[in-house]
Amino acid sequence: MKAKEIIARRVAQEFKDGDVVNLGFGIPNAAADYIPEGVNVILQAENGALRFGETPTKDNYNPNLANSGGAPITLLPGAALFDLQTSFAIIRGGHVDATVLGALEVSQDGSIANWIIPGKFAPGMGGAMDLLVGAKRVIGAIQHTTADGQSKLLPECTLPLSAKGVLDLVITELAVFGFQDGKFLLKELAPGVTLEEVLEKTAGEVIVSEDLKTMSI
């Protein structure tokens, strides 16, 4: 199983019945395809959609329906479409139970950098700034290392921050982390992954949970 699928599958297990959830670009959006059967999640897209479902097939694709990243979506019974002002009123009003966002870096104090690499073009932070402070729960979905093997889980972020100390959970293809005493709290290991591997690939300080579990995917 590829790293991105492992992350998306594990992210989907964080959703509870009745949750209003906003999914960011990339890996977070893929979690919509793995929501457990029987769990009724209301997915929200900041461009103005509420209650959408799995990625469409060629048979039910509608070119007029897309999430905020431009990816095609399907609408479920009871779905609503609305303007940007209404969408951000939902976010800023504290009505989003959880948001899942990708990241370039995360740090052991729960900070996240996910919008720009200095010197490279970026269209702006978009709705992330509102989601990071408006959602009741913030989950980071991130590949554990860069393409050249450098850890993305750091003592301090080196890139410009999106928000400081807001993360509740970080899910990678190797492990699941919470936060405790200003450090990463290792809660789960992916199947076949060793504790030594995770510690070696995590640059930030790590506390190992006394109740360390194997990730269910």
Q: Tens-digit pLDDT profile for the chain (217 aa)? A: 999 999 999 999 999 999 999 998 889 989 988 999 999 999 999 899 999 988 899 999 999 999 888 889 999 999 999 999 999 999 999 999 999 999 999 999 999 999 988 888 776 777 899 999 999 999 999 999 999 999 999 999 999 999 999 999 999 999 999 999 999 999 999 999 999 999 999 999 999 999 999 999 8
The CATH number of the domain holding residue 97 is 3.40.1080.10
Q: Which long-range contacts (CB under 8 A, 24 or more apart) does 199-204 make?
A: 201/144, 201/145, 201/149, 201/151, 201/153, 201/174, 202/144, 202/151, 202/153, 202/175, 203/150, 203/151, 203/153, 203/154, 203/155, 204/107, 204/108, 204/151, 204/153, 204/154, 204/155
How many structural domains comprise the chain? 1
Q: Is 139 buried (19+), middle (13-18) or exposed (0-12) by CB count in 10 A?
A: buried
> 31 is in which domain, residue-wise?
3-214
Query: Under a CB-based contact definition with an 8 Å cutoff, are residues 60 and 40 in contact?
Result: no
From the candidates 14, 37, 46, 173, give the one annotated as an active-site residue: 46
pLDDT at 6: 98
In whole angstroms, what separates CA 155 from the centre of its chain? 20
Q: Can you give the pLDDT at residue 2?
A: 96
Q: Does the annotation count 46 as an active-site position? A: yes
pLDDT at 55: 85
Beta bridge partners of 189: 175, 214
Predicted pLDDT of residue 102:
95
Give the Cβ contact number of residue 181 at 10 Å: 8
